[in-house]
Homo-oligomer: A and B are copies of this chain.
Amino acid sequence: MGIVLGANQYGKAETRLVRVARAGDRHDLVDLNVSVTLAGDLDATHHGDNAGVLPTDSQKNTVYAFARQFGIESIEDFGLRLARHFVDSQPAIHRARIGIERYGWDRLGDHSFARSGGEVRTATVSDDGARARVVCGLTGLILLNSTDSEFWGYVKDPYTTLPETRDRILATAVTARWRHAGTGSAWDESYARTRELLVGAFVQTYSRSLQQTLFAMGSRVLEHRPEIAEVRLSLPNKHHLLVDLEPFGLDNRNEVYVAADRPYGLIEGTVLREDAPDAGLAWW
């Protein structure tokens, strides 16, 4: 026949884990969504022999048990521990990836919290048994500049009707992921500072395109965070369209906008160090 199995992987997705740490009356809360992905010698499974398959239910149990046994110092360390565990303990598994979303909560009291909304912090840890890689990130961070954004000087082809503008709203929902060169950072501090750098670059860049802003955001991170080798950004252009109020005898000097749903521009790019170490499995 000549029909073969190619790349394949499996795992348990979206295990929802909340851990309460109690230091006396004062509690801390960690709220996660954990997805495990495993790959290796899984050909036999695809032909009906499950001898090498660790059930996805066991993967879920491991996530909960590890949260109890080892706590969750950071999502990156939790991911590193889980990834290595699966690769080390399962002969058929040669690669493990742990994807984690962390939902933020603001403290209201010793044991009271409000979900902070806004962005979700993410981490993806990949491990092949020899070496682990860590990609940190965030998603759902919605930013807007109400001026200091232009768009002009672009190609005019026969299908171009967009008027040039020297003053527009620039808004996006940031998804950013950044690859660490190593696996030993002060994760929470690194995350907080990187988030701050991304936001700062968005705010401070006088923008001639969302692409320019993207590059400014990525390079700002690399300039200040030596532990990071590469930044990938996905920036939807959340269009705000000026409403034509002339039919009602009104002007509209960049004051009243429609926030449009679809379609939207989508700008994606990578910013990295020229001497960035090999990414290996990082983006698997």
Residue of A60, A67, A263, A269 ringed by the most chain B CB atoms within 10 A: A263
CB distance A50 to B154 under 8 Å?
yes
Distance (whole angstroms) from the CB of A37 to the closest CB of chain B: 7
**Interface flag for A74 (CB, 8 Å):** no
Q: A51-B154, A158-B248, A169-B18 are in contact. Are A270 and B211 (CB under 8 A)?
A: no
**Interface flag for A184 (CB, 8 Å):** no
Known A3-B223, A5-B215; further 17 A-B contacts with Cβ < 8 A: A3-B274, A12-B266, A15-B262, A16-B262, A18-B256, A22-B254, A42-B211, A46-B215, A47-B212, A51-B154, A53-B154, A55-B154, A58-B160, A67-B256, A69-B250, A112-B144, A113-B143
Residue in B18, B146, B154, B223 whose CB lies within 8 Å of A113? B146
**Interface flag for A185 (CB, 8 Å):** no
CB distance B203 to A5 under 8 Å?
no
Distance (whole angstroms) from the CB of A144 to the closest CB of chain B: 5
Q: A58-B162, A162-B55, A236-B13 are in contact. Are A208 and B50 (CB under 8 A)?
A: yes
CB distance A159 to B62 under 8 Å?
yes
Residue in B105, B111, B254, B264 whose CB lies within 8 Å of A12? B264
**Interface flag for A237 (CB, 8 Å):** yes
CB distance B147 to A269 under 8 Å?
no
Contacts A/B (CB < 8 Å), 30 sampled: A3-B218, A3-B219, A3-B271, A10-B268, A12-B265, A13-B263, A15-B263, A16-B259, A17-B256, A18-B257, A19-B256, A20-B255, A21-B255, A50-B151, A50-B208, A51-B153, A51-B154, A56-B237, A57-B161, A58-B162, A61-B248, A64-B245, A68-B252, A68-B255, A92-B155, A111-B147, A113-B145, A114-B144, A117-B117, A161-B247
Task: Give the residue name and chain of the B residue nearest to A42 (CB).
Answer: B211
**Interface flag for A77 (CB, 8 Å):** no
Q: Per-residue CB proximity of A185-220 to B under 8 Å, as 1/0?
A: 000000000000001001100001101101100110
CB distance A112 to B203 under 8 Å?
yes
**Interface flag for A118 (CB, 8 Å):** yes
CB distance A48 to B162 under 8 Å?
no
Residue in B92, B160, B202 whose CB lies within 8 Å of A61? B160
**Interface flag for A23 (CB, 8 Å):** no
CB distance A17 to B258 under 8 Å?
yes
**Interface flag for A227 (CB, 8 Å):** no
Q: Whole-angstrom distance between the alpha carbons of A106 and B61 in the complex?
A: 35
Q: Whole-angstrom distance between the alpha carbons of A116 and B104 in the complex?
A: 12
Q: A50-B151, A58-B159 are in contact. Are A262 and B144 (CB under 8 A)?
A: no
